Structure formats: structure tokens, C-alpha cells
Amino acid sequence: ILLLIGIAAQIASSIISSNGRLKHTYTDVVFVPASSFSVSDIGGRCKQSAVRAVGEWVERRVREKEEERENWKARVWSVVNLKPIVVVVGGSCREVRVMASMILFDSFPRLHERSIVFASNLSKAMDEVEELADPRYAGKLHYYVTTFAGEEEMEVAQVERIGDSADVAKRKEEVESKLQQGVAKLSMRKKVMEERRKRREFLSQATHVIIAVGNFPVGELLPSRDTVWRAEAAVELALADNTSAIVYSGGSTSRMLARGEGEAEACAVSEARVMALHSSRRISAWRIAMEEMSMSTVANARYTARLIEESFPNASKFTLVSKPDHLRWAMPIFEKVEVFAGRLQAAASKFDREEMMENLRSVIETRRDDHHDGGDTCRGLPLCLSTRLDNLERGIGGID
């Protein structure tokens, strides 16, 4: 018995450190430069490349860790953390959240909202990560950074291993330099200015304006599937008509879901900006304009009309894009505005009720796992995910 107790104690000491944390465990952390964002081809392609690289990295690392956990030695000697942490560094708060929103959308449900950290610089990022890492673990963090192929052509991103927390502290300047690769250089800024000039010229000549209105997100950083379907429908119409431009309309409704006060609310990402960035995968971004003030369908119509009067002097045809249910009552609202009277047609976007319900269930389940608070506790409130899911299941009209 004493011999068995001794062996058990030795095994325990090899698994648990002196401070009670598990040994042989680690958390993957990837630093992603926010980079300056404007709705430009360069800014969009640069960002999409980074999002794609991070998404592929998250998928690969989660798969590798799951395989590692299946190994009997891993089960005996360690508990592997399957949730990587993504740190978006630098840029304005809104730029950072746009980037984080796209990363989360592409990687969900492998990443949760709480797996994304925002930081203005590397030192703050490391402090945030240390606090976020699971306290049971011995604190070993494996750090990666998103880099680009070159300073001029920043459209091919890759994720590069840079070591653990000690390595990052020693090589802080080198890591900062790699992060700065994601920030547009002077020559890139000149290209962006040129693209802005192209946008102004194109919008002033466009005769057909496609208007896609957003919908309430399913998380502070996670757009609804419905919103993305509307953006995709607008792109399909624009690709079929070279004289057309797209206006994405929708304010920062996500601020109603912000967990914190002040900055979290002020930096909320607009529905229009999320749709614009999503569309930049398939269409020249200088064909896109954004209206980011509206918080309702009535405001969508009013503020979009104002934008058209200012930027689209030759527009004579308008198409409103939304889901079928919404179009039935959104069309009369838009047609009451003088700019659209007699010149507006409707175009229904995809809407898959089963897919929407599955999306809401996934988010609710993720929050239950992430927050350890029993999940969505606001049942009955209009913006509550549980209420939205109930309405869809029962066929009741509402946000979705």
C-alpha cells in the first residue's frame, strides 16, 4: 500500500506543479495585426488574407490537439486546452473589432467570443493573455504571429511560430516589427488614396444602386447568417450589372449586446461595415458605400436617401435587398421617401430557417460552455437569442 501511495504521489507531482497548476499543458496564442481598415481593395484583401490564415491555423491546431488528446500518454500526463486565443493588436477600436468579427465568423464555433482579445500594443496583449489563460495550467503559452509575404504585396498571410512567453519578452522588438507588417506603408496609403478617388468617380457615375440592409447580430462580434446572405445577394446583383454600386445600410446595433460599458459600446461594429468587408472577397471595394447610422428600417430608408443624394447624382434605378418577410413591409417604407418613389424594386436574399435556427442554437450552446452561467438567461426579451430561436421555431415574425 505504501509503495502504491509513493508511486501515486510521484505521478501527481509530475502532473501538478508546486502552485497547483497542471504541467505539460499549454495554450496557443496568435497575434494578428489589426492594420488600418478602409473599404478599399488593398485593405480588404490584406484583411481577408489574415482572416483566412488565422482560420486555417485555428482549424489545424484544434484538430492536432484533438488527436493529441486521443493519445493515451496525453490522457495520462496532461489536459490539453482546445481553445486557442486570438489577439488582435493595434489600430483603432472599431478597426480591431471589424477584424475580430470576421475572424470569429470564419472560425465559429471553433473560436468563441471570449477567445478573442483586443490590445493596443504587444505589452498589453501579453498581460491580457496571461489573465485569460486557464489558471489550472502551468502558464506555458505558445505564441504565433500573423505575417505577410512582403511589404508591397500584403495579400498572402501566414501564421509563424515565435516561441513561448519568455521568447516573446526577449524578442519584443522583433515581434513588434512583424506585427507592423500588417500596417499599411506609405506606398500602400498612396494606393488607398487612389482607390478612394476611383470610388468617388464610380459612385458619381453609377446608374443602378443596390441597397442591402443589415439585421441584428447574434453576438457582439458575430453577424447573423441572415446579414451575410443579404450581402451575398447584393454582390450577385452587382456582378451582373457593371453600372451598379452597392450601399450597405445598418448601424452599430451590436452595441446593445456589448458586455462592458463605455469603450465596448462606443467601438461596436456596424452591420454595414461587416457586410462591406465580407463582400470585399468577391467585388472591388470601391463599388461599395456604407451608411452606418441607422438603427431601424425607417432610419435605413432616410439615411440611405441622404447618402444617395450626396454621392450618386446619376442614379435612376434602385434595388432593395433583404429577406422575403422583411421586404413585404420594408418596401412601402422606402417608397415613401421621395428619392425611391416609383424607382425601387425588390430582390429577396436567401433565407434558410433551419440553418438560422441551427446557428442560434450553436451560439447559445457556445455561450453556455464559455460563460459557465447556464447560457442565455434573458428569455422573453426581444433581443434575446432564446426568444429569437423560439420565434423561428414557432413561425412568429420578429428580428429573424
Q: Give the model confidence (pLDDT) of 270-314 as tens digits.
A: 899 889 888 877 888 889 999 999 999 999 999 999 999 999 999
Residue 58 near residue 107 (C-beta atoms within 8 A): yes
pLDDT over 50 (residue 389):
yes
147: left (phi over 0), alpha (psi -120 to 50) or beta: beta
Question: 51: pLDDT confidence band, cut at 50, 70 and 90?
Answer: confident
pLDDT for 192 equals 66
Pairwise CA distance, residues 300 & 210, whole Å:
13
Going through 40-172 in order, the beta strands assigned E by DSSP cover 85-89, 116-119, 141-148, 157-164
Residue of 386 and 227 predicted with greater confidence: 227
Task: Tell me the pairing of strands 141-148 and 157-164.
Answer: antiparallel
pLDDT for 235 equals 96
Nearest Cα neighbor of 252 from 295, 291, 222 is 295
Residue of 115 and 77 predicted with greater confidence: 115
pLDDT, the chain, mean? 77
pLDDT for 369 equals 54
Q: What is the DSSP letter of 270?
A: P
Q: Please report how many Cα atoms fall inside a 13 Å half-sphere around the Cα of residue 219, on the Cβ side.
A: 26
Pairwise CA distance, residues 115 & 89, whole Å:
14
Going through the chain in order, the beta strands assigned E by DSSP cover 27-33, 85-89, 116-119, 141-148, 157-164, 208-213, 244-249, 288-291, 317-322, 344-348
**Average pLDDT of the residues in 56-62:** 83
Residue of 100 and 13 predicted with greater confidence: 100
**Average pLDDT of the residues in 115-119:** 81
Pairwise CA distance, residues 68 & 266, whole Å:
41
Question: 167: pLDDT confidence band, cut at 50, 70 and 90?
Answer: confident
pLDDT over 50 (residue 22):
no
Q: Retrieve residue 75's grid coordinates.
A: 490522457
Helix (DSSP H) and strand (DSSP E) numbers for the chain: 15, 10
Q: Retrieve residue 111's grid coordinates.
A: 473560436
Question: 97: pLDDT confidence band, cut at 50, 70 and 90?
Answer: confident
Residue of 212 and 217 predicted with greater confidence: 212
Pairwise CA distance, residues 269 & 360, whole Å:
20
Residue of 179 and 306 predicted with greater confidence: 306
Pairwise CA distance, residues 64 & 67, whole Å:
5
Main-chain dihedrals φ then ψ at residue 350, nearest 5 degrees: -60, 140
Question: What's the Cα-to-Cα distance from 130 to each of 23, 111, 133, rounded to whole Å?
Answer: 16, 18, 5
User: The whole model's pTM is what?
Assistant: 0.77
pLDDT for 245 equals 96
Of 15-29, 30-44, 333-347, 349-363, the poorest mean pLDDT is in: 15-29
Pairwise CA distance, residues 394 & 271, whole Å:
26
384: left (phi over 0), alpha (psi -120 to 50) or beta: beta
pLDDT for 208 equals 97
pLDDT over 60 (residue 380):
no
pLDDT digits (tens, 9 = 90+) for 333-370: 999 999 999 999 999 999 888 998 988 888 888 776 54
Pairwise CA distance, residues 170 & 162, whole Å:
11
The share of the chain scoring above pLDDT 70, in percent, equals 71
Q: Retrieve residue 242's grid coordinates.
A: 457593371
Pairwise CA distance, residues 39 & 200, whole Å:
12
Residue 307 near residue 200 (C-beta atoms within 8 A): no
pLDDT over 70 (residue 159):
yes
| Cα angle, residue 360 at apex, residues 358 and 365 outer, rounded to 5° | 95
